[in-house]
Amino acid sequence: MAGVRFEGVWKVFGSTPVVSNLSLDVEEGEFLVFVGPSGCGKTTSLRMLAGLDRPTYGRIWLGDRVVNNDPPGERDISMVFQSYALYPHMTVRRNLAFGPGVRREPRAQTRQRIEEVAETLGITSLLDRRPSELSGGQRQRVALGRALIRRPQLFLMDEPLSNLDAALRVQMRAELIRLHQLFEITTVYVTHDQVEAMTMGERIAVMNDGVLQQVDSPEALYENPAHLFVATFIGSPKMNTFSGTCTSHDASPTVRCLGTTFPLAPETPLRGDAPTDGPVIVGVRPVDVRWAREAPADCSVVIPARIDIVEPMGSETYVTVKAGDTTLMARFPGRSGVRSGETVEVAIDPKNVYLFDPKSNAALLDRSGLVAPSSTWTAPAEQHSLYGSSA
């Protein structure tokens, strides 16, 4: 088992940088997730770590050695990619036994590992079939099994659950986390699905356009995003954003927006380097725009709004409202009975307001006081509702 360090790593194809100056440490035994939109450089970063692509500049460390020039086979890494790459002429059992066979591991040990891994992945009944006799999801589980049969220094996983149906994906997420907790092998996992990232990662590295935007715990990314990109990428439904004006020269800073004035909450002070007065981008998550009659009394700012679209989800209702010229998504309770065209009041607690610099998109408020001090890693099912449901 080993930690990983990207040190000023660049990957340039032709004259286009697709990974720009990536510096990041993955602790020994950590489960780190790379997340970001399609084409942001996640897979390229993983391929460089695997030895399938060489960095154009910079160094990659595995444990205490630089591995830039080491071929993949010398890195003691197990990889699972979206494409399964199973041997078509071999049964599942032989596919699983292939790696240990090449490494000349004892046969009895391999047989036992195959039984364990097959049991964990629910593929025991498939061991004597060939890949052509399996569904896409079953093949993907076999591909996972091939990686899990080893105890390498490092696991690399690139969208390994993407071909599974929603229920199996949730089950496999929990299973992978359980296996990680059991073996504590350093794992770098790539996904474009922010819910998958939030529910699996001990820390998450958010990338956009080849640039690492922020690396932090799921809770910190959600509560205290450093940039507008992170704020709008993490959380489902997406954060509402609109323009406002900040006034901070007197004792009680405020932001004027949505036709009213919000006092800035004492828990979320302006960052020391934030410009004092002027235009800002205001962000509020849909879960924090509440129906005033259902909101707790400390939701002190109440705004009149007209209901546009009502999306009942069962236990809750997502409602698109117009507050003046601004369109907002709000979360109302299930069975709220509201209808399009109706006028209602929505309530926003000032401590749920985020502010960003309209030029740099950097966060202007220090919301770190809202992040639980010792964020513990909880099972996916428990975190699911906080960050929204999976795509």
Residues binding ligand ATP (CB under 6 A): 13, 18, 36, 38-44, 192
Q: CB of 36: closest distance to ligand ATP in angstroms?
A: 6
Q: What whole-number distance in Å separates Cα of residue 205 and Cα of residue 377?
A: 16
Q: CB of 11: closest distance to ligand ATP in angstroms?
A: 8
Q: What whole-number distance in Å separates Cα of residue 222 and Cα of residue 231?
A: 7
Which CB atom, from 22 or from 228, has the smaller least distance to ligand ATP?
Answer: 22
Q: CB of 48: closest distance to ligand ATP in angstroms?
A: 10
- 19 forms beta bridges with 11
Q: CB of 6: closest distance to ligand ATP in angstroms?
A: 14
Neighbours of 221 (CB within 10 A): 29
Which CB atom, from 233 or from 332, has the smaller least distance to ligand ATP?
Answer: 233
Q: CB of 162: closest distance to ligand ATP in angstroms?
A: 10
Q: CB of 28: closest distance to ligand ATP in angstroms?
A: 25
Which CB atom, from 44 or from 320, has the smaller least distance to ligand ATP?
Answer: 44
* Residue 373 burial by Cβ neighbours in a 10 Å radius (0-12, 13-18, 19+): exposed
On whether the CB atoms of residues 348 and 331 are closer than 8 A, the answer is: no
3-state secondary structure 177-245: HHHHHHHCCEEEEEECCHHHHHHHCCEEEEEECCEEEEEECHHHHHHCCCEHHHHHHCCCCCCEEEEEE
Q: In what order do the strands lie in the sheet with 57-62?
A: 16-26, 4-13, 57-62, 65-66
Which CB atom, from 80 or from 258, has the smaller least distance to ligand ATP?
Answer: 80
What is the pairing mode between strands 31-35 and 186-191?
parallel
Which CB atom, from 157 or from 353, has the smaller least distance to ligand ATP?
Answer: 157
* Helix, strand, or coil (residue 350): helix
Residue that the structure tokens 């154009």 belong to:
56
Which CB atom, from 13 or from 87, has the smaller least distance to ligand ATP?
Answer: 13
> Which residue, judged by CB position, is nearest to ligand ATP in the bound state?
43
Q: CB of 226: closest distance to ligand ATP in angstroms?
A: 20
Q: CB of 165: closest distance to ligand ATP in angstroms?
A: 20
On whether the CB atoms of residues 344 and 300 are closer than 8 A, the answer is: no
Which CB atom, from 19 or from 228, has the smaller least distance to ligand ATP?
Answer: 19
- 214 forms beta bridges with 206
Which CB atom, from 45 or from 224, has the smaller least distance to ligand ATP?
Answer: 45
Q: What whole-number distance in Å separates Cα of residue 162 and Cα of residue 283?
A: 31
**Cα–Cα distance list, 283 to 35, 107, 141, 278, 308 (Å):** 21, 58, 40, 16, 20
Q: CB of 350: closest distance to ligand ATP in angstroms?
A: 36
* Helix, strand, or coil (residue 357): coil
Which CB atom, from 33 or from 40, has the smaller least distance to ligand ATP?
Answer: 40
